[in-house]
Structure 1
Amino acid sequence: MAKAHANDQPQGFSNRIEKVAIIGAGGQVGKHIAEQLLKTGKHTVTAITRPSSTSIMPDGLHVIRVDYSSDELIAALRGQQVLIITMAVNAPRDTISKLVRAAAKASVPYVLPNWFGHDAANNRLCEDSLLSHYRDSICAEIKNLGVSSYLLLACGFWYEFSLGGGADRYGFDFKKRSFTLFDDGNVAINTSTWPLCGQAIANLLSLKELPDDDMDELPTLSQFRNSSIYISSFRLSQRDMFESVKRVTGTTDADWIISHESAEQRWKDGQAALQQGNTKAFTKMLYSRMFFPTSDGDYQSSRGLHNDLLDLAVEDLDEFTAIGIRMGENDEIPLSH
């Protein structure tokens, strides 16, 4: 397929994204995406939500309340250039499919189909994490509909959420002041904060959509069609996280109950529990797999990052460690997905 250029488009074509719709704009990552989009001053942002929703939306959003199964959803999406879906990892798959199909009927060019985390190009990791079926089905559906392109955000696990989310995530229980090291605790992974995820999406959608012509080498949104955007706040091992925790809390190793477990055995135990119907084991399985010695969670070393291309902020580790500790101490995070 010939590469599209802005200069070849019909009169009236605007080479930028102006209208963005978000599902879940009052949620954990959705709120940060909405706020960062509004902060650019370049986008009209519409929150689409169910009539029964009680979520508090960021100021400045245009809010439309519709039933996701009705034709009103298609009407709400008409004229939008991007649909961003942010829902819980255990959200019904048919709900996301309904949204994707509605976006196609409304001729929305780009969809972010609720993929925030894993490197979607790492097939073994996605398969072992029980995510490959969702990835394959939703990406295939978008492609087969033949209208929209998908955009996937590879950001690793959310840092502050995962740090404060209990021992089954990054190994910390701040109330008990205990820390579980997976193997030797030296496997480095990429991890991102909610604000950086929001900034990444906002800056991505603030790029030109198409290159002006063959000579234009500036980054564009279209170069990411049907692929992943790789970002990261930090590349850290558990031991790196622990050093930050100790700085923030003013503690030493002697103040903590430290134990060791095999990441692979934790993953196997999680898989076995899931097969017996214990859905709470999903979190343990998901996070343990990321810390395998194969370093699948370190996509920075194998694929590089788009942080510089998107002009993303350089963040302070201890600042976000303090946020994660507070969230853990105040029970702000459910212990399972």
Structure 2
Amino acid sequence: MSRIENNHVTKVAIVGAGGRVGGPFARSLLETGKHTVTAITREDSTSGAKLPEGVHVVKVNYDNEESVVSALKGQEVLIITLSVQTPKDTQAKLISAAAKAGVPYLFHNAYGGDITAEQVNKDTGLAEAEAATRKQIEDLGVSKWIAFCCGFWYEWSLPMGTDLYGFDIKNREVIFFDDGETKFSTSTWPQCGRGMAALLSLPVEGQGTTLESFANKPVYIQSFRVSQKDMLASILRVTGDKESDWKVEYQPAQERWEEGRAAMMKGDRQGFARMLYARSMAKDTSGNFEGKLNNDVLGLKDEDLDEWTKFCVDFAMAGRSWWAE
């Protein structure tokens, strides 16, 4: 029998509920009217103003396990979203505390690519850490993990320069990886929020699709499946530009990700981005979730590509950067 009352999740704790990833999760969960959302924040956190209205806040000291355990007691799901600046041992501490608190389900800090793409994850250096995290959860034997595979975030990746999806919108430049025609899955933050809310609104156990059917497995969602050339075509529709207005270059994906890895090893943080995106968008289609998608069972529809491309174009042309916001 489920340890969760009435066979439906109602109590969800989120680390990072004021962030770009955790925020959409929190808002969408609250919008269902079925969930109580608790934001787990540091004692010295100043992000309260960014938290969605209706979120309950509990402040903890990550170096005091008992304070984290106390905050997580009674929670049915823990969603961990952490920034790259977070101390590396923070997630391990949260996982240990979740086990001691008896939290049944846990979303670790793995949002993006396909965790089953072993060679890609090995090439990008993500495999070892990801495997260790899942092993920790399984060895503790209390929580079951779910990996949230959503591809790269579209509204983050398209307007942020050639290091990511290869586009410099403001200067009308694009670098196509290989031939630019490889399809891959990508999602917006709101779509991720809807996906999480739909997933945690499923019955925990029983017939048909349940939350338990995703235990210790990935869930796959997308907003759309596109190629770089599809994105350029969308930009041209939105802006009225002609392709001849753009500077178009081509680079082999393997060459690009190897260059990015070399730059990263020399301390260039953007080198990691170049490596990760180019490797995940290479012709082995590791970033294409076709045949694995759970959109249908979660009631998710593909979004309007041009609508989100327009958002990205407006964002880039205004000189905005996510790093500064």
Measured against the shorter chain, the TM-score band is over 0.9
Partner of 2:269: 279
The aligned length equals 320
Q: Does 1:63 align with 2:57?
A: yes
Q: Does the residue aligned with 2:218 lie in a helix, a strand or coil?
A: strand
| Conserved? CA contact 1:270–1:281, under 8 Å | yes
CA distance in 2, matches of 1:296, 1:77: 35
Question: What displacement does 1:254 show?
Answer: 2.0
Equivalent in the alignment of 2:321: 332
State how 1:9-20 maps to structure 2 within 5 Å.
Answer: 13-20=5-12
Gaps of 5+ in 1: none
1:127 to 122, 127, 136: 122
Give the structure 1 partner of residue 102 of structure 2.
107
**Correspondence 1:207-222 to 2 at 5 A:** 207-211=202-206, 216=207, 218-222=208-212
Q: Deviations over 1:142-179 (max 9, x none)?
A: 00111100000111111111111210111111222211
Q: Distance in 1 between matches of 2:104 and 2:133?
A: 16
Alignment check: 8 A CA contact 1:327 1:333 kept = no
2:141 counterpart residue number: 146
How far apart in 2 are the matches of 1:277 and 1:191? 28
CA distance in 1, matches of 2:9, 2:234: 39
The residue that corresponds to 2:176 in the other structure is 181
Structure 1 match to 2:215: 225
Deviation readout 1:200-251 (Å, 9 max, x if unpaired): 111100000011xxxx3x2110000000001111111100000111111111
Inter-partner Cα distance in structure 2 for 1:37 and 1:298:
27
Q: CA deviation at 1:89?
A: 4.3
Deviation at 1:73, TM superposition (A): 1.2
Asked if 1:323 is matched to 2:295, the reply is no
Matches within 5 A, 1:150-165: 150-165=145-160
Is the 1:117–1:154 Cα contact (8 Å) retained in structure 2? Answer: yes
SS in 2 for 1:84: strand
Q: Which amino acid aligns with 2:143?
A: S
Structure 2: gaps (5+ residues): none
Equivalent position of 1:252 in the other structure = 242
Shift of the 327–68 alpha-carbon distance from structure 1 to 2, 3 Å rule, reads: farther
- After superposition, the CA RMSD in angstroms is 1.6
TM-score for the superposition, normalised by structure 1: 0.91
Return the alpha-carbon distance in structure 1 between the equivalents of residues 286 and 301 of structure 2: 24
**Alignment partner of 1:306 is 2:294:** yes
Q: Which amino acid in the other structure matches residue 257 of structure 1? A: K
Higher mean C-alpha deviation, range 143-152 or range 305-314? 305-314
CA offset digits 1:59-84 (Å, max 9, x no partner): 11001121122221111100000000
Partner of 2:320, secondary structure, is: coil
| TM-score (structure 2 length as normaliser) | 0.94
Answer yes or no: is the 8 Å Cα contact 1:37–1:43 preserved in 2: yes
Match of 2:323, SS?
coil
**1:52 maps to what in 2?**
44
Given candidates 155, 166, 169, the residue that maps to 1:171 is 166
- Return the offset for 1:314: 3.0
Percent identity over the alignment is 45
Q: Which runs of 4+ in 1 moved over 4 A?
A: none
CA shift for structure 1 position 279? 2.8
CA distance in structure 1 between the aligned counterparts of 2:98 and 2:315, rounded to whole angstroms: 35
What are the residue-to-residue correspondences of 1:197-212 with 2, within 5 Å?
197-211=192-206
2:63 pairs with 1:95: no
Aligned counterparts of 1:90 and 1:230: Cα–Cα separation in 2: 26
Whether 1:292 and 2:286 are equivalent positions in the alignment is: no
Once structures 1 and 2 are overlaid, which stretch shifts more, 34-43 or 285-294?
285-294
- Out of 8, 17, 29, which is 1:37 matched to? 29
